[in-house]
Structure 1
Amino acid sequence: MRHREWALAVVFAAVLAFTAWRIAISWGPGYWVLDCAAGSVVCVLALLRGRNRAWAAFCGLAVACAAIATAWLAHLPAEPGPGMALALSVLIGSAVRVLPVRTAAAVGVFGLVMVAVPSSMTVPNGVAWVGGVGTGVALRLLALRREHLADTVRREERLQLARELHDVVAHHVSGIVLQSQATRVLARRRPEEVDGSLDGIENAGSEALSAMRTLVGLLRDDAPVRPERLEDLVGRFDGLPVLLRAGDGRDWPPEVTGTVYRVVRESLTNVARHASHAASVEVTVTQDGDAVVVEVVDDAEPRPSRRGGLRERLEARGAHGLRERGGFGVLGMRERVEALGGTLVAGPRPEGGWAVHASVPLP
């Protein structure tokens, strides 16, 4: 059992022991046996509820019914006692939290029938029932909210995928079309330069295929992924060595894990598009107190392309300028992080290269 279950077992044992002592004082020796035995059975079911919540809840309620009938026929202290009522509260709350609506409603109604049975414990048992149902409903609504946020993250990721593919395809295909048109002119005026122009078209096509492979690899997953799967993302990043340092994010909610994955993916996408001449990239994901910190750093400097033409130099300068101004990718990351109450800073480093630093608070 987990630490939480052990703590709950200690509480159950203490309540059962205290109730048995009080019954022995007020009713006399021997009258506490039914309450302690039936209560222990329901408490054990509550501790084992994770295996089958519906089965545990209905069995616990059935034991409570049998205890109520036995106590009434044998003129014993009223059931369910405090220990059993506490265990039933846990069973009912657990069922209401995760079971299908009809099954959860049946468990809640069955528990309400137990409370409605006239006895000296009606008010305490009613409080326990309300507490169990209220806690279960609250946790169910919280889970639904997280699921809705996860769906929102997935929808935004699909839209981002469409934007990224459009940008890459439009950029590279436009370049190929322009060079093809230029080649047609050269074929009429300077045929001896056609081979060089065709080489340029071939190189542009190869660059387009390489960029498409990298981006599709980075963008093909449309669902938020746990931080452990950042290794898969890094493994699909072609061309540059990436050093990954990722913490354990098993307890992070889906909206946080999705945002972390989104920031790393967009940052690597920017490296692939604007800093392919970098020597290395470092990705760090850690939990600092009540926040998750993401850092993606490359060591690239802005430089013109190897062909050295005026158009290529302007394109290289414009690409780095886009990074400095924080293009749509950086804006999307910042909006995602700020929507969760976090902060994101992206810009050039004094020692050279580019850095993205995001801090996402944990709820």
Structure 2
Amino acid sequence: MGNAVLGAGFALALLVMAAQYAAQGRVWALDVATGAVVCALAVGRARSRGAAAALGLAVAGVAALVARAAGLPGEPGAAAVLGLLVLGGSAVRALPWRRAAVIAGAGLALMATGLLAGPAPSTPFRVGIEVWALALAAGLGLRLLDHRRRSAAEAARRDERLALARELHDLVAHHITGVVVQAQAARIVARKRPEQLDDTLAGIETAGADALSAMRRVVGLLRAADDTPGTAPATPGTAELTQLVRRFDGHGPTVRLHLPDRDAAPWPPEIATTVHRIVQESLTNIARHAAHARTAEVAVAHPPGTLTVTVTDDAPPPGHARHLRPVGFGLLGMRERVEALGGTFSAGPGPAGGWTVHAELPVPESVSR
């Protein structure tokens, strides 16, 4: 879409330039041909930004030599200048520093050479060097902005990994403690009730398999965790979810909570923590960005093999400009948590207004039963 708009703008500039030159009785074919080539390179720059910028400068330089030899007004023309603006800015924004510096220096050298060698005043090259400097400044500004965005996103991911690393401590302790307790019980059973030893060993095997499965799901997100281990919070459950909703209720929309059957099996620690964080972050976003909503609903369901959590509000439709809410790093953190556990995550405006956050998390069969 962006290249299509850019191409249409270049085509309009070429047509206006050709009409203006023709009306003035000037030779327009060289300027239009040079501009068309440089603009085409600018539109297709994504394939190789460095090569496109270098070729665009070469075309402009050759056209300048031809124009001087033929006694024509000079190059680069208006359309070529626009194309070079895009090529220079794109190269400085996206290329590695050394290649970007080479392209920037080559453009400045070309414009300066034409300015000094041409008959005074050399208007095309004077304008060209000003536009090239503008392109470099714009490209550098966008490069720094991209760097800041990447740094902010990486910082959010790193914080989320470190939080998960702390929770992993409790996850390991939970499962391994169960293994140890059952192993101790097995020693007693072996002495007093040998006929029950096989059932006890089967329980140990199941607990060990659950521990390995849970650790593999969570560790996949902890590639860069290097924080010093700290004290992790206790694993939250349905009681903590109820308390969480009560804390938000009264500070914004009325919040309704729907939980699965209280007699259902407890959730694995890593899944319970993820559900708690999704609800917490979603309600926080509602309080910050949708205080005009009247009600919010938190629904947790536990069908066999899956646990789903959905948080919705009834804020006005997103067409109202004042009701648009930003997509921040909280959604990124929720998505990474859910996907690390093998689940799916979605968030966005609803068809009738409001905002919906929905996550589905797989639950081991031994827990679902």
| TM-score over 0.5 (shorter chain) | yes
Give yes or no for contact 2:76–2:125 (8 Å, CA) kept in 1: no
Give the aligned partner of residue 213 of structure 2: 213
Give the aligned partner of residue 245 of structure 2: none
Structure 1 residues 38-76: Cα deviation after superposition (integer angstroms, max 9, x where no partner): 222211222222222211111110111122222233331
Structure 1 residues 85-128: Cα deviation after superposition (integer angstroms, max 9, x where no partner): 00011111111111111111111122223443432235543443
Q: How does 1:5-16 map to 2 (within 5 A)?
A: 5-16=3-14
SS of residue in 1 equivalent to 2:64 = helix
More divergent stretch after superposition (201-210 vs 94-103): 201-210
More divergent stretch after superposition (161-170 vs 347-356): 347-356
**Counterpart check, 1:357 vs 2:317:** no
Give the aligned partner of residue 47 of structure 2: 51
Q: 1:145 aligns with which of 144, 148, 170?
A: 148
Identity score, percent: 34
Q: How does 1:1-363 map to 2 (within 5 A)?
A: 3-26=1-24, 28-29=25-26, 31-116=27-112, 117-118=114-115, 119-122=122-125, 124-182=127-185, 184=187, 191-192=192-193, 195-196=195-196, 199-200=199-200, 202-217=202-217, 219-222=219-222, 300-303=260-263, 330-331=276-277, 334=280, 349=299, 355-357=309-311, 361-362=326-327
What is the rounded CA distance, in whole Å, between the counterparts of 1:165 and 1:174 in structure 2? 14
Q: 1:111 to 1:337 in 2, by over 3 A?
A: farther
Give yes or no for contact 2:176–2:211 (8 Å, CA) kept in 1: no
What is the rounded CA distance, in whole Å, between the counterparts of 1:172 and 1:201 in structure 2? 15
What is the rounded CA distance, in whole Å, between the counterparts of 1:83 and 1:222 in structure 2? 51
What is the rounded CA distance, in whole Å, between the counterparts of 2:82 and 2:33 in structure 1? 15
Instruction: Return the offset for 1:182.
Output: 4.8
Q: 1:161 to 1:105 in 2, by over 3 A?
A: same
Give yes or no for contact 2:89–2:138 (8 Å, CA) kept in 1: yes
Q: In the comparison of the two structures, how many residue pairs are matched?
A: 271
Partner amino acid, structure 2, of 1:168: L
Partner amino acid, structure 2, of 1:35: D
SS of residue in 2 equivalent to 1:79 = coil
Q: 1:356 to 1:218 in 2, by over 3 A?
A: farther
Give yes or no for contact 1:346–1:354 (8 Å, CA) kept in 2: no
Instruction: Return the offset for 1:80.
Output: 0.8
Structure 1 residues 170-220: Cα deviation after superposition (integer angstroms, max 9, x where no partner): 1122233334445556777xx24x654773463254134135314523552
Instruction: Return the offset for 1:300.
Output: 3.0
SS of residue in 1 equivalent to 2:309 = strand
More divergent stretch after superposition (55-64 vs 66-75): 66-75
Instruction: Return the offset for 1:304.
Output: 7.2
Give yes or no for contact 1:176–1:201 (8 Å, CA) kept in 2: no
What is the rounded CA distance, in whole Å, between the counterparts of 2:73 and 2:282 in structure 1? 59
When normalised by structure 2's length, the TM-score is: 0.58
Which runs of 5 or more structure 2 residues have no equivalent in the other structure? 116-121, 225-234, 239-256, 314-324, 329-369
What is the rounded CA distance, in whole Å, between the counterparts of 2:74 and 2:182 in structure 1? 91
Q: 1:218 to 1:300 in 2, by over 3 A?
A: farther
SS of residue in 2 equivalent to 1:357 = strand
Give yes or no for contact 1:35–1:81 (8 Å, CA) kept in 2: yes
Partner amino acid, structure 2, of 1:7: V
> What RMSD over aligned residues (CA atoms) do the two structures have, in Å?
4.4
What is the rounded CA distance, in whole Å, between the counterparts of 1:17 and 1:54 in structure 2? 28
Give yes or no for contact 1:67–1:80 (8 Å, CA) kept in 2: yes
Structure 1 residues 285-343: Cα deviation after superposition (integer angstroms, max 9, x where no partner): xxxxxxxxxxxx996322276xxxxxxxxxx6xx79x99xx95873598579979x879
Give yes or no for contact 2:300–2:308 (8 Å, CA) kept in 1: no
More divergent stretch after superposition (106-115 vs 330-339): 330-339
Instruction: Return the offset for 1:20.
Output: 2.5
What is the rounded CA distance, in whole Å, between the counterparts of 2:300 and 2:33 in structure 1? 72
SS of residue in 2 equivalent to 1:303 = coil
Give yes or no for contact 2:53–2:103 (8 Å, CA) kept in 1: yes
